[in-house]
Structure formats: C-alpha cells, structure tokens
Amino acid sequence: MPVPVLDLKRQYQEIKNEVAAAVAEVFENQHFILGKNGAELEKECAEFLGAAETVGCASGTDAILLSLKALDLQPGEGVITSSFTFFATAGAIHNAKGVPFFVDIEPVTFNMDPVKLKEFLATECEKGLKGVVHKKTGTPIKGILPVHLYGASCEMDEIMAIAKDHGLFVLEDSCQAFGSKYKGKRVGTFGELSAFSFFPTKNLGGAGDGGLVSTGSADLAKRLRKIRVHGSEKRYYHDEIGYNSRLDEIQAAVLRIKLRHLDKWNEKRRGAAGLYASELSKIEGVVAPSAPSHIEHIYHQYVIRAERRDALKDYLDSKGVGSMIYYPVPLHQQVCFEFLGYRKGDLPETEKAADEVLALPIFAELTESEIKEAAREIGNFYSGKK
C-alpha cells in the first residue's frame, strides 16, 4: 500500500467550501494587498500565540530577514544559530550582512544545545566594554537565533538566561513550530521577535509563500510594518530602505480558515506520532523522536534516527512509502559557507544527525493503517524480509 509522505489534498477536502468562499470574497472586493484579511489574521495569530502583536510578510525567510533588520543588526555583526536547519536561517543572517556562528545540537530534539551555546560564549568569545566579541575573528556577537526544529521547542529558559547574561537579543526561528509549546507557553513569545513560515507544507500552511513575525514590542511591530513596505509609513515617503515583503490577501484568507483548525490538526499529528512510537519500539535499528514532557511537540516532521539510513530510504522508496531527509548537509558544510572556516568534526552531533535522520509520513489525515504499513516495511528492512 503506497503511503505518501504528505497529502495536502486530504486537508483541502475538509475545508474546501470555507476556503472557496473566503477566496471568492477577496476577488469580489478586489483588494489584494494589506487589506482586511491580513489585518484580521495578524490579530488572530497574536491571540493564538499569546503575543502582543504579529506582522505578516511574504515568507518565513523574509520573516527572519526583516526581524534582523528591525533589531538593527549591523554589517559584520555575528548571530549564533544552529547548523542543522533549513538554509534560510543562516542565509537570512548573511543577507542581512551579518555573520552566522554555529553551535552544536543536542541529540534528542536536534535543537541548539544550551550547554554548547554557553561553552561557545565562554571559550571562543570574550565580554568587554563593547559587548561580546569573537576572539579569533574580532566579530561583535549581537544575538542568538535558536531554531525550533521539526516542531519541538528549544530549551528557551536556558537560552534566554544565557542571552540576558551576555546582553544578546534572541530571535526565534519558529518556522516549523506554529502551535508548539514550551512549559505551557507558545513558541514565538520568548525572544524579542520570532519568525514563522506559512509555506504550504507547514502545519499552518498557505496556498503559496507567506510568513509572520511575532513580538511583544509595539515599537518593533511598527518598525516591521514599515520595513515590509520599502521603509515607508506614508506612501511615497521613505524613512529607510526596506523591502517588498507583504502577505497578500488571498494567503491571509486561506490561513484564517486553517488557523481555526490548527489545534485539532496538531493533536492528530501527536496521535500519529504516538502510534509510530509504539510500532517502531519493536524494531532494532531505529530511534523514534521524543521530547521532554515540558515540550509540546507538534511534529511538523516525524524524524527518526536510522542505521543504514540511505539504504532504508531506498528500500522505502521501492515499496511506495514516502520519506525525506531533513537535512543531509549541515549549513557549516555547505559550499557557500566555506568562507566561514568550519571543518568536518567541528559540530559532531550535527554531523551525526545529518547522516542518520529520516522523516516518515506525517500529517493530520494520515491513517492508522498507513502508519502501520510504514512501520511494517521498516521492520521488514531491518529483519531482512525484503
């Protein structure tokens, strides 16, 4: 039985009438940019997250880039982040004219390891009158960009305490974690700013690209709204050089419909993850994902560690069971970042994860029989019943 890694059509069938009506209304009004739906979505997302304000933008990548701009990151200043994430995290730092510095992950959640973060600041940096400076390069370190990978929160209490001790801003990359919680509080409400993605495959996904920034600061929200429209508050008058990064009305209309269903969908993902864990516990050679009890995982991806990962993936492909590798090459080993000077072995947990992770099918509408079929084929691979 074929098992798709993701099937967005099933979700659409559940909400197609609502979506069709909302999109038709946008076309009737012919107001496609910065209209009613965008404004209402920002209010509804702020209420959902428990944030003071949210600001829509064109993509998750832009959400990070605009946030760095709003935080006044200057050319040549450093931001500490994870190498085990989607390219946009470090790409946005570079495009904001900053310098990414990578610290290793912890092996269970694949998120930034606070111990390694503290160690990096203690051994590779020094704190002086002008703040934190990287000893080897002389780069001023201004912020931390933790990534809530695969839908599980980072250890935010520890990260926030480290940031406060060193006078660093925190920008959360929550692009894979809309709805996830840390100690009962939604991610995206810890740092000065948080970036979200509405790419169609996300738990809360649009009908194209889209993004959002959350913040507790009215001043930062005001700045973001200006930056996303070419640095302009009043049309044709520009206070700074900004970007064209607006969330259009069609995307906002679709997302408003989906937001109403998100908690239910995330709960179904957790149910699927629980069944996977039960089925995979019988199989030698794989480790199911997990998170501490104070982290509410939303399983944007269900990512196992697998012995002979590449061979397993080839086998699952041959049996029609979908899987994906997120991410086969860590950012510190990407050709475009060679100039940063990282070498193989610098981030051992990151590199180990890149060799072992495999994402299995996961979405709210995934059936029990499909989960058992995927697990059965994994068991067949490791038992030799091919």
**Domain 262-383 - what CATH class?**
alpha beta
Intrachain domains 8-103+110-259 and 262-383 with the same fold:
no
Confirm if 12 and 331 have CB atoms less than 8 A apart: no
When pLDDT is cut at 50, 70 and 90, the band that residue 310 belongs to is: very high
- The rounded percent of the chain whose pLDDT value lies above 90 is 98
Confirm if 104 and 348 have CB atoms less than 8 A apart: yes
Characterise 303 by phi-psi region: left (phi > 0), alpha (psi -120 to 50), beta (else): beta
When pLDDT is cut at 50, 70 and 90, the band that residue 214 belongs to is: very high
**What does each C-alpha distance from 80 to 62, 124, 220, 342, 352 come to in angstroms?**
18, 12, 21, 14, 20
At residue 302, φ and ψ (nearest 5 deg) are: -105, 100
- Calculate ∠ Cα 30-249-175, nearest 5°: 165
Tens of pLDDT, residue by residue over 323-350, are 999 999 999 999 999 999 999 999 999 9
User: Can you tell me the mean pLDDT for 131-151?
Assistant: 97
Residue 84: name the closest of 353, 356, 381, 384 by CA: 353
When pLDDT is cut at 50, 70 and 90, the band that residue 128 belongs to is: confident
User: Can you tell me the mean pLDDT for 58-68?
Assistant: 98
Four-residue CA torsion sign, 153, 334, 95, 324: negative
> Mean pLDDT score of the chain, rounded to an integer?
97
User: Can you tell me the mean pLDDT for 176-196?
Assistant: 98
User: Can you tell me the mean pLDDT for 191-218?
Assistant: 98
Report the C-alpha dihedral over residues 183, 224, 175, 194, rounded to 10 degrees.
-20
Q: Which amino acid appears at position 140 of this protein?
A: P
When pLDDT is cut at 50, 70 and 90, the band that residue 386 belongs to is: low
**How far is residue 196's CA from residue 194's CA, in Å, rounded to a whole number?**
7
User: What is the pTM for the complete model shown?
Assistant: 0.97
In the three-class reduction of DSSP (H, G, I as helix; E, B as strand; rest coil), residue 155 is classed as coil
Whether domain 8-103+110-259 has CATH 3.40.50.300: the reply is: no
Residue that is written with structure tokens 């495999």 in the block:
358
Residues 6+ positions from 204 with CB-CB distance below 8 Å? 178, 179, 196, 198, 255, 258, 259, 262
Strands (E), 204-271: 211-215, 232-234, 237-238
Using a 10 angstrom Cβ sphere, with 0-12 exposed, 13-18 middle and 19 or more buried, the burial of residue 335 is exposed
Confirm if 27 and 248 have CB atoms less than 8 A apart: no
Residues 153-175 as b/e (b if ≥16 CB within 10 A, e otherwise) read: bbbbeebbebbeebebbbbbbbb
User: Can you tell me the mean pLDDT for 41-62?
Assistant: 98
**Where are the domains positioned within the chain?**
8-103+110-259, 262-383
Residues 6+ positions from 14 with CB-CB distance below 8 Å? 261, 365
Residue that is written with structure tokens 């084929």 in the block:
377
pLDDT of residue 34: 95
Tens of pLDDT, residue by residue over 284-294, are 999 999 999 99
pLDDT of residue 129: 83
Q: Is the pLDDT of residue 69 over 80?
A: yes
Tens of pLDDT, residue by residue over 96-115, are 999 999 999 999 999 999 99
**How far is residue 143's CA from residue 59's CA, in Å, rounded to a whole number?**
22
**How far is residue 280's CA from residue 288's CA, in Å, rounded to a whole number?**
7
- The rounded percent of the chain whose pLDDT value lies above 70 is 100
